[in-house]
Structure 1
Amino acid sequence: RAAKARRVVLVGASFIAMEVAASLIHRKLQVHVVAPEAVPMERVLGPQVGEHLRRLHERNGVVFHLQQSVVAIDERRVVLKDGNAIEADLVVIGIGVRPLIDLAERTGIKTDKGVLVNEYLETSIPEIYAAGDIARWPNPLTGDHIRVEHWVVAERQGQTAARNILGGRERFDVVPFFWTTQYDFTLNYVGHAETWDKLDLKGSIEEHDCKLSFRRGGKTLAVATIGRDRESLESELAMERAVQAV
């Protein structure tokens, strides 16, 4: 589709949407991004990184329509809630996923924005397990149930669940991680912080040389690094040791 398109509208400002935007800009297409938030990816990465990414994309030609939503899509355009319309040959929607939990609910398995599992990935019904994007498991560092949409997590959970189905009793205590590359910008993220009360920044985001620590209650829940791969690995190792100590 992109090979024949000239104007593209991306709905959403998630990691996938932003990576698609960078990819399509490399193809010399006109790219517009529509999203409800005021700062892209602020909820996950904080306002400083979000603003940097917005400026980075704008310098490369992306046009943002923030604090907006889509009310209609037809063959030639996308209509926004403020009444403005954007001409488009291609529309890409990257607004997240909703877990399909109907089957679990019908069988009486406990759910909460996903299928609830214990540290062994076992559901509330013994000998029934869940893994992957649908599973919400207890984070050993906080006790909160979390759900992570990343293929590495899904792959490793599947392996752990399989061993436990075969009679093992293995905790799933892997520290989640992901990364994103957009233009010349690469960010690595380890841990999981849905909310935080303190964000420590060391270094410079603009110079692509920094470390951000997402903290809550004095505890580091996640670390994002730009241009500091060694510190990312060291942070991951520290979290693994903290988990093993629980």
Structure 2
Amino acid sequence: MDTPHVIVGASLAGAKAAEALREEGFGGPIVLIGEERERPYERPPLSKGYLLGKDEREKIFVHPEGWYAEHQVNLRLGTAVTGIDPAARTVTLDGGERVAFASLLLATGASPRRLKVPGGEGPSVRYLRRVGDCERLKEDFRAGRRVAVIGAGWIGLETAAAARTAGCEVTVLEVAELPLLRVLGREVAQVFADLHRAHGVDLRFGVQVAEIREDGVLLGDGTRVPAEVVVVGVGIAPNTALAAAAGLEVDNGVRTDPHLRTSHPDVFAAGDVANAFHPLYGRPIRVEHWANALHQPKVAARSMLGRDTVYDRVPYFFTDQFDLGMEYTGYVEPGGYDRVVFRGDVAGREFLAFWLAGDRVLAGMNVNVWDVTDPIRELVRSGRPVDPAALADASVPLTELA
């Protein structure tokens, strides 16, 4: 029997890699191994449509239930990989079984960072990463309940919006001066602060959490924030333990080349765990968003089959909060821009924003304005100089600037 291609992590990235191997014409065995007992699903609905009750449960899954058997993918759920031996080309499972591989894809994702304060693992504390976490929050979010959200990043703000939509009294606690400050910068972060305040969310910035108690959160200055439910969203960390123990190069994720190949020629990585060299930026970047998990596996699969391909897509992510829908295209290091140029009605939350270094567009964001992602992507990718005045002028088509 042929040695299988093995995928560790039955996530969106893992499932799409199995799909891509079949689409690329590989007819041999594929083994897809995941710790969770649910078949592969997408994570964005867990803080958006499914959490809000807008999406049915079946919509979160990557493939219909019978897809894996129909495509002869050996899906092994509820199974943890405890070790990788790249030299022997084997993975070891939690029951001691060893599975040989022709090539291996690590799609191990990331895990929520834990809040290390007294009471941080108490009965009122919630983290959001898995479908079970989401379903518990759906039960928690009931009208009149008091919810404290620690962290004003994407997960924190999306869960705050869901809780408020459900009729909860919501307080967001953030150490920085504004939400999403590192990601968006002060100019655009203010938009999200205004949005949440307009919908009745109590935002408290520049605060430190000292303790979580049964009746709520104690801040460093002695202030008590009453809450029956405390949601912690203070970031995620890539799941690199297996890779590190196997001797693979690890640095803010599993390091890969543009082909998504790790420091071992037969081991690849994709999704949240991959810190991949990006040709457009000339260095490795790790993007913790759905689009990477969706698109990187196609490149990884081709590379696993020995085909020449690189991953060079412009990073992309999106959010939905209250009546604000947003798409962001590009990549900006914290503080790595000179200015932000706006086009449209910022106060009315129907606008575009562009982050510039000199006269070059690093990233663009469309808020409640649609069908502009392609020209924004071209503006970012081309690197051509752009007149900021024309960029701000809604009468100038973006296609003329790209």
The structural deviation recorded for 1:144 is 2.8
Structure 2 residues without counterparts, runs of 5 or longer? 1-139, 384-402
Which stretch has the larger CA shift, 7-16 or 223-232? 223-232
Q: Which residue of 1 aligns with 2:360?
A: 219
Q: Contact 1:70–1:81 (CA<8 Å) still a contact in 2?
A: yes
Give the direction of change, closer, same or farther, for the CA distance of 1:102–1:109 in structure 2 (3 Å limit): same
C-alpha contact 2:243 2:250 (8 A) present in aligned 1:
yes
Match of 1:90 in 2: 229
2:260: which partner in 1? 121
- Counterpart CA distance in 1 for 2:266 and 2:358 is 35
Q: Is the 8 A contact 2:143 2:167 kept in 1?
A: no
| Superposition map of 1:96-135 within 5 A | 96-135=235-274
In 2, the alpha carbon distance for the partners of 1:219 and 1:140 equals: 17
- How many pairs align? 242
1:201 is displaced (CA, Å) by 2.2
Give 2:178's aligned residue.
39
Residues 136 and 216 (structure 1), Cα distance of their counterparts in 2 relative to 1, 3 Å cut: farther
> What is the match of residue 210 of structure 1?
351
Query: 2:164 aligned to 25, 28, 50, which one?
Result: 25
Q: Which has the larger radius of gyration?
A: 2
Q: Which amino acid in 1 is paired with 2:243?
A: A
Q: Which residue of 1 aligns with 2:370?
A: 229
In structure 2, distance between residues paired with 1:117 and 1:221: 23
Deviates more, 1:107-116 or 1:86-95: 107-116
Per-residue CA distance 1:5-24 (angstroms, 9 max, x = gap)? 71000010011211111111
Aligned to 1:7: 146
Q: 1:193 aligns with which of 319, 332, 352?
A: 332
The residue number in structure 2 matching 1:155 is 294
TM-superposition CA deviations, 1:120-152 (whole Å, max 9, x none): 001122221111101111232221321111122
Aligned to 1:81: 220
The reply to whether residue 48 of structure 1 matches residue 166 of structure 2 is no
Conserved 8 A contact 2:343-2:352: yes
Cα separation, 2, equivalents of 1:218 and 1:139? 22
- Aligned match of 2:323 in 172, 176, 184? 184
Gaps in structure 1 of 5+ consecutive residues = none
Change (3 A) 1:120 1:217: farther
Aligned equivalents of 2:359, 2:281: Cα separation in 1: 12
CA distance in 1 between partners of 2:143 and 2:344 (Å): 42
CA contact (8 A) 1:141 1:221 kept: no
Distance of 2:167 and 2:143 partners within structure 1: 12
Equivalent position SS for 1:119: coil
Comparing 25-34 and 216-225, the one that deviates more: 216-225
Query: SS in structure 1 opposite 2:217?
Result: strand
Deviation at 1:217, TM superposition (A): 5.4
Give the aligned residue type for 1:66. Answer: F
- RMSD of the alignment, in Å? 1.9
Alpha-carbon distance in 2 for matches of 1:14, 1:48: 16
User: In 2, Cα distance between the equivalents of 1:14 and 1:95?
Assistant: 7
Q: Secondary structure at the match of 2:363?
A: strand
SS in 2 for 1:230: coil
Q: Decide which moves more: 82-91 or 216-225.
A: 216-225
